Amino acid sequence: MAITPHGGTLVNRLLSGDALEAARKKAAQLPSITVDPYTAFDIDGIAKGLFSPLTGFMGEAETHSVLDTMHLRPGIPWTIPILLAVHAEEAEPLEIGSEVAIHDDLGDVVAILHLSEKFALDHAELAEKVYLTNDDAHPGVKYTMALGNVFLAGELDVLKTRAIEFEEYNLTPAQTRAAFEEKGWNRVVAFQTRNPIHRAHEYLTKCALEICDGLLIHPLMGTTKSDDIPGTVRMKCYTALIDNYYPKDHVMLSLMPVNMRYAGPKEAIMHSIIRKNYGCTHFIVGRDHAGVGNYYGTYDAQRIFEDFDADEIGITPLFFEHAFYSKRTQSMASPKTCPGTSEDHVFLSGTKVREMLKNGEMPPPEFTRPEVAKILIKWAQENGE
């Protein structure tokens, strides 16, 4: 039996047929605002049900509930507000109860907002409660502090989805749920990544697959940091790995078109909820999930699950410690399963790996598969990375 979407119903705010045509004509006559790529991805997430049970951008009371209690309302956990911010001069002519056309950064009319509220938030408080820091070196804090000072709330009617690279892998929650049912998968584990998968990650996914029917490799493909490896390169790595090292009957690759917020523990909860909406029953939470820099403790993203009742989130988190190749056991392992000291462990820093790739050196096979390394070496040398 399929897992119930968060809040009970899988949201779909995408218009079609006559309703879509009527909305396009209406939008041309409405007052309008333009949003950045970050907000455009959030609109897409609302439209397709990734953010179920949300049907639009949050209002003031709901936002404060999320910031202060980590719940939308009793029994429905939520940790990061989904907000639409504009500058005061854009908000001033917009009337409560009216409709507003939303243009994305590409110039397309993507949605109509049924404006129910205009409100203000303290940006510093918002950043502190979401990211647990006010340091503007944190990419999420920097983005938050630059937001407009008026927030617009209301339900959305969405006219157009956000196209991304490798669109054939950009399955909606309804489509992944249908695929799992067709494959006969009742227990499905999702793996979150925004990087190529190295041997330690491969090990974690295969450990999880031992207790599940299927594995969803689900890389994030929304906005990320400028120094993250490009999506096109990552996709080549994922497909090479799946083709050579995973059983095809038990693994599936799909994309998650969601912004990377780098909110650490609170984002781990959000990523779990989103995967629940995609139909997954289990979710891998490793070390420093969704972290950046040194803002979060190594396992804070696992400990935050203790703040919720066992059945509230509704998806089973699988907690893993840092994995590595053990010279002593000649296999992948973790501190839980491996005797010996750290000198027996093969671990390379990201900086060291990039240095090797740029120089055309193959990282050791204990760290990454050669097929993946070749793709990364080609990218690093062509781009001076």
Domain final position from 110, 132, 158: 158
Q: Does a structural domain hold residue 343?
A: no
CA 27 to chain centre: 30
- Phi, psi angles (nearest 5°) of residue 80: -130, 120
Task: Write a three-state SS string for 121-178.
Answer: CCHHHHHHHHHCCCCCCCHHHHHHHCCCCEEEEEEEEECCCCCCCCHHHCCCHHHHHH
- The stretch 240-254 carries a mean pLDDT of 97
Which residues are the active-site residues?
Answer: 194-195
- The model's confidence at residue 376, banded by pLDDT at 50, 70 and 90, is very high
Q: Is 196 within 8 Å of 203 (Cβ atoms)? A: no
Q: Which residue has the higher pLDDT, 129 or 339?
A: 129
pLDDT at 385: 63
* Residues 125-180 pLDDT 10s: 999 999 999 999 999 999 999 999 999 999 999 999 998 889 999 999 999 999 99
Q: Are residues 306 and 238 in the same domain?
A: yes
What residue type is assigned to position 77 of the chain? P
pTM value is: 0.95
Range of the domain at 63: 6-158
187, 115: one domain: no
Per-residue tokens: 121: 């938030």
Confidence of residue 75 (pLDDT cuts 50, 70, 90): confident
Calpha distance 18→309 (Å, rounded): 44
What pLDDT is attached to residue 151? Answer: 98
Task: Please state the rounded mean pLDDT for residues 274-293.
Answer: 96
Please state which of the ranges 90-99, 201-210, 305-314, 334-343 shows the lowest mean pLDDT: 334-343
The Cα–Cα gap between 157 and 12 comes to 9
pLDDT of residue 211 exceeding 90, the answer is yes
Peptide bond before residue 53 is cis, with ω within 30 degrees of 0: yes
- Residue 179 placed within a domain: yes
State whether 249 and 283 are in the same domain: yes
Residue 340 above 80 pLDDT? Answer: no
| CATH, residue 220 | 3.40.50.620
Question: d(Cα 131, Cα 138) in Å, to the nearest integer?
Answer: 8
What's the confidence (pLDDT) of residue 383?
A: 82
**pLDDT range class, residue 1, cuts 50, 70, 90:** low
Segment 10-59, tens digit of pLDDT: 999 999 999 999 999 999 999 999 999 999 999 999 999 999 999 999 99
Task: Specify if 349 maps to a domain.
Answer: no
Q: Identify whether 147 is part of a domain.
A: yes
Among 321, 349, 375, the domain-final residue is 321
Which of 293, 321, 349 represents a domain boundary (last residue)? 321
Count CB atoms within 10 A of the CB of residue 299: 18
Q: Is 250 exposed, middle or buried (0-12, 13-18, 19+ CB in 10 A)?
A: middle
The count of structural domains within the chain is: 2
Q: Tokens standing for 226?
A: 């400028």
How far apart CA 350 and CA 337 sit, in angstroms, is 24
Do 229 and 276 belong to one domain?
Answer: yes
